[in-house]
Structure 1
Amino acid sequence: MLLRLPTSVSEAQEYLTEGAVPIGGATLVWATWQRDGFPDRAMSLRDLPEANTIGPEALGAAVVLNRIDDRVPEVLRRAAAGVGTGAVRRTATVGGNIVGSTLRCLLPAALVLDARAVILEPEGVTETDLAEVLAKRQLLLSLRWRTPLTSNHHKAAAEPGGASPVVVAAALHPVDGGANLLRVAVRCEDEVFSGSTGCEGGADDMLRRLRDASFGRLPAMAWELVGRQVTDLLARPEAA
C-alpha cells in the first residue's frame, strides 16, 4: 500500500483523483484491511495544515482527539475526552470519529454548535452541512462554528457488553434581538436526535417544547439526562 501524506490542498486533490483512500487515524479501518486486503493507495491528512487547525471556532479533521483542549468550546473538549481509552484518543481523529465511525461520539457536540463542514473533493474545497457529509461520507477537512455563550456535555456510564452509552450535548447561542437559542443533541441506542428552542419561559417550558418537537421517542432515562444538562446550562452566569 502506498501512503500519501499531502502538505497542500492541491496535493490532496491530486491524490484523491488517483484514487487514494482517506484513512484518518486508521483505528477503524486497519482490522478491515487486514481481513479484506489493503488498498493500493491511501492518504492521511496529518501533514495538511488546513486539517490540523484547533481554535475557538474551528477544528481540523486530522486532529487526534487527545490534542483537543480548552481552545475549543467545552462541549467538544468533553466529548473528545470521553472517547475510548487514552491509547485510542492518541490515534483517533476528528474526521474518523464523525464520518468513519458508527458511534460518532463527537457528532452531538458538533450539532449543538451548529457546525458547518469544510470538505475536500477532487474539484476543490467547499462548505456544507454535516447531514450531507454523513450521508455521502465525504472527506472532512475541518469543522467551523460560531462561539456559543456556553455549552456542556455528558456521557452516561457504559454497561459492559451493552448498548452504546447515552450522550447528551447542549449549547446556548446568542441570536439577533438579544434573545438566546438553546440547541440540544442526544445519541441514544446509536441514533442521534437534535433540536433547538428559543429561551422564552423557564427551563420546564423549554424542555416541553424540545420534547414535543424532537425528542418524543427518547426513553425516560435519556430524557432525564437532557433535563439535567439543560438545567445546568441555564443556571450558568453566561446564560443570564
Structure 2
Amino acid sequence: MQLRLPSSISEAQRCLAEGAVPVGGATLVWAGWQRDGFPEQAVSLRRLPEANGFGPEELGGAVLLHHVDTTVPEVLHRAAGQVGTGAVRRAATVGGNIVGSTLRCLLPAALVLDARATVLTADGVYETDLTELVAKRPVLLSLRWRTPLASGYRKLAGEAGGAPPLVVAVALHTGDDGPARLRVAVRDGYDVLSESAPYEPGTGAEEVLRVLEGTELGELPADARDAVRGQVVEVLARAAAG
C-alpha cells in the first residue's frame, strides 16, 4: 500500500481523484484492511495545513485527539479526552472519529457547538453542515463554531461488549437577534439526537427542561433523561455565575 501525504489542497484533491482512501489515524480502518485486504493507495492529511488548524473556534480534521486541549470549548475538550484509551487518542484524528467511525464520539459536542464543516472532495473544497457531513462522509478539513457562553459533557459508563455508552453534550449560545439558545445532543446507542430550546437570563432550568421534554429527547429512557437534566442544570448554573 502506498501512503500519500499531500501538503496542498490541489495535491490532496489529486490523491482522491486517483482513488486514494482517506486513512485518518488508521485506528479503525487498519483491522478491516488486515481482514479484507489493503487498498493500493491511502491518503493522510497530517501534512496539510488546512487540516491542522487549532484555535478557540477551529479544529482541523487531521488534529490528533490527544492534542485537543482547553483551547477549545469544554464540551469538545472533554469529548476528545474520553475517546478510547490514551494509545487510541495519540493516533486517532478528529476527522476519522466524526466521519470514519460509527461511534462518532465527537459528533454530539460538534452539534451543540452548531459547528460548520469545511470538507474536501476530488472536485473541490466547500462548507457544509454536520448532517451532510455524516451522511455523505467527505474528507473533513476543519470544524468551525462560535464560542458558547458555557458548555458541558457527560459520558456514562458502558458495559463491556455492549452498546456504546450514553453521551450527553450541552452548550448555551448567545442569540443573533433573539434569546440565547441551549443546544443538547445525546448519543443513545449508535443514534445521535440533537434538540434546542430558547433561554432568557433569569429563566429557570425547569422551564428549559420542559421545552426539551416536548422534543425527541423526552422519549429517551429514564437514565438518559436524568443525564440530560443534570447537564442542563449544570451548564445553566455555570452561565448564570459568569
TM-score (norm 2): 0.96
Identity of aligned residues (%): 65
Does 1:26 pair with 2:26? Answer: yes
2:111 maps to which residue?
111
2:77 maps to which residue?
77
2:216 maps to which residue?
214
Q: Map 1:1-240 to 2 at 5 A.
A: 1-177=1-177, 179-200=179-200, 201-237=203-239
Deviation of 1:166 after TM superposition, in Å, equals 0.6
Amino acid at match of 1:8: S
Q: Distance in 2 between matches of 1:162 and 1:178?
A: 42
Deviation of 1:162 after TM superposition, in Å, equals 2.2
Q: Per the alignment, in what secondary structure is the counterpart of residue 118 of structure 2? A: strand
Amino acid at match of 2:162: G
Deviation digits for residues 125-179 of structure 1, max 9, x if unmatched? 1000111111111111111111111111000112223221110000000013463
Q: Per the alignment, in what secondary structure is the counterpart of residue 215 of structure 1? A: helix
Deviation of 1:62 after TM superposition, in Å, equals 0.5
Q: Distance in 2 between matches of 1:131 and 1:192?
A: 11
Is the 8 Å Cα contact of residues 154 and 169 (structure 1) preserved in structure 2? yes
Q: Distance in 1 between matches of 2:180 and 2:65?
A: 30
Is the 8 Å Cα contact of residues 116 and 145 (structure 1) preserved in structure 2? yes
Shift in CA distance, 237/36, structure 1 to aligned 2, threshold 3 Å: closer
Deviation of 1:107 after TM superposition, in Å, equals 0.4
Amino acid at match of 1:233: V
Q: Per the alignment, in what secondary structure is the counterpart of residue 105 of structure 2? A: coil
Moved more, 192-201 or 62-71: 192-201
Is the 8 Å Cα contact of residues 150 and 239 (structure 2) preserved in structure 1? no
Q: Per the alignment, in what secondary structure is the counterpart of residue 59 of structure 2? A: strand
Structure 1 segments unaligned to the other structure (5+ residues): none
Deviation digits for residues 81-139 of structure 1, max 9, x if unmatched? 00000000000010010011111100000000000110001121100011111111111
Deviation of 1:239 after TM superposition, in Å, equals 6.4
Structure 2 segments unaligned to the other structure (5+ residues): none
Q: Per the alignment, in what secondary structure is the counterpart of residue 95 of structure 2? A: helix
Deviation of 1:48 after TM superposition, in Å, equals 0.6
Moved more, 109-118 or 199-208: 199-208
Shift in CA distance, 130/61, structure 1 to aligned 2, threshold 3 Å: same
CA RMSD between the two structures: 1.3
